[in-house]
Amino acid sequence: MTGCAGLPYGMRYLAPILTLGTVAAAPSPASSQRQPPPTRLVVFIAVDQLRPDYFTRYEDQLTGGLRRFYAEGAFFARGEQDHAITETAPGHATMLSGRSPASVGVVTNELGVSDSLAPLLLVAGPGASPRRFRGTTLFDWMAAADPATRVLSVSRKDRGAILPIGRAKVPVYWYAGGVFTTSTYYGDRLPQWLLAWNFRRGPQNLAGRVWNLLLPADRYAEPDSQPWERGGRAFRFPYPFSPDSQQAALQAAGTPYLDSLTLDLALEGVHRLGLGSRNGTDLLAVSLSATDAVGHAWGPNSREIHDQVLRLDRWLGWFQDSLARVLPADRILYALTSDHGVTPLPGYLLSQGRMAGRVVGDTVPARADANLAARHRRRFGLEFNTGLIFGDTTSLHRAGVDVDSLARSLASQLARYTGVTRTYTPATLAAAPENDVDAGRWKRTIPSDFAWLAAASLAPGYTWAYPGFEAAMHGATTGDDVLVPIAFLGRGIAAGQHTRARTVDIAPTLAALLGITPGEAVEGRVLREVVRK
């Protein structure tokens, strides 16, 4: 693909950025006599839906940034998003807070960052803010130690940009309507540098181009076409972009190329905001979402995800090399993880002789809410989301409904579905033993003040079904959905392969490396495999 294969499409804009950035970062005669801080910039990278087995599966073909994290960093192959609803919003909320979704108050995607009181700038679309987020994050701890701390967070998704930073009103940008923007929670206008970047029309310039394989076809072991991919429609390379520029910009969100554009924007922001150019430590958070889009559509065993991971690897390597031209490489501290894994498509699993299926759980609360409405002449807002049934329990009590009995009934109905392994009510979850792994994950998901009635866990290979969405899914407590990579890379961090860690360990570990203290109690631990002193 001309302008797209191998290198980020926006790269032609980087020469002046890197030149100016190098000049800006050069020490003055006065400052050259001072010892620079051990770390000038923390770079936190979240790759949406990145499974840890991709590192071993494609190891021989990784040559860039993923290879560096795997071979040169402290790499944990069994990192865990150790909670029940393994979705993007809860996952991102754990990464730099050191706390579980139950603590930060972010339970599901829908109950994550959506906020009608904070509309987007420049474009129409759902408003977003961190108003539901409770507590602090690594950035707050850094700013408490050094009020001059600078930060930038960028992502394709609003929740991917917002939640790693928490409630701070700082530069936070995400992709919507063909541009990168933000909401009125963060301000009433975009900075000139971001407007200028959008004016380059990188996503729109994909019009008429094609996503084709990065390597020769014989370097991919996966079949090019499998009938369960992409709902059985258009699942063979190459994939053309629309000739219409605006349509191409919308298509970009479902292809590898938005990762390259996100990294390009992050690099520009580093220069324009002067991140890392002072005698202090700044923070850059980048959430890359193309792996999630490709993984949902084609599944984690597809040729398409193989190609996406290879492109991600090259683009991350390019990003690290470019950043090292602006800042001393030994003054950059990297951390990488993912917000969740993904369960393979049922068609693929069945073809391998494994049990698999989709579980339709939303009919259970729908029937119950209709029956209650007929009896009490009002709705109680019973909803289902990724194994959790919740609703207006206060109004149920006031109407004289035996809520405990209702909860038991709902849990019993969920338990009848093939693929459901465990169910809980508030009473049974509270009484569950400590060795009940699924119960522990549900406890770390549901805040103590959240009104819920029943929760269910699934067997491996099973996912929750949503009408019209025939995609590879995540969200359950199974290993496919919970397991993520966790890696640290930088001066003083010994290379090595390690086993278990949790995403709540990332923030306290980074804080220990920076010599600062978390601003509140955290659930994660300092990873001594990373912090050796």
Q: What is the mean pLDDT of residues 411-438?
A: 98
d(CA 433, CA 373): 36
Question: CB atoms < 10 A from the CB of 305, how many?
Answer: 26
Q: Name the architecture of domain 9-26+38-345+478-514.
A: 3-Layer(aba) Sandwich (3.40)
d(CA 400, CA 356): 41
Examine the pLDDT at 31 and tell me if it is beyond 50: no
Q: 56-105 pLDDT, tens per residue?
A: 999 999 999 999 999 999 999 999 999 999 999 999 999 999 999 999 99
Which of the following CATH numbers is that of domain 357-460: 3.40.190.10, 3.30.1360.150, 3.30.70.580, 3.40.50.10860? 3.30.1360.150
Q: What is the mean pLDDT of residues 503-532?
A: 96
> In the chain, what are the helix, strand and coil shares in percent, each to the nearest 5?
40, 15, 45
Q: Over the chain, what is the mean pLDDT?
A: 92
* Lookup: tokens for 7: 């290198």
Contact 325, 16 (CB under 8 A): no
Contact 387, 455 (CB under 8 A): yes
Q: What single letter denotes the amino acid at residue 5? A: A
Reported as a pLDDT band with limits 50, 70 and 90, residue 306 is very high
Model pLDDT, residue 232: 74
Q: 362-396 pLDDT, tens per residue?
A: 999 999 999 999 999 898 999 999 999 999 999 99
Reported as a pLDDT band with limits 50, 70 and 90, residue 32 is very low
Which uninterrupted H or E stretch holds 105?
none
Share of the chain above pLDDT 70, in %: 93
Domain boundaries, the chain: 9-26+38-345+478-514, 357-460
Examine the pLDDT at 29 and tell me if it is beyond 50: no
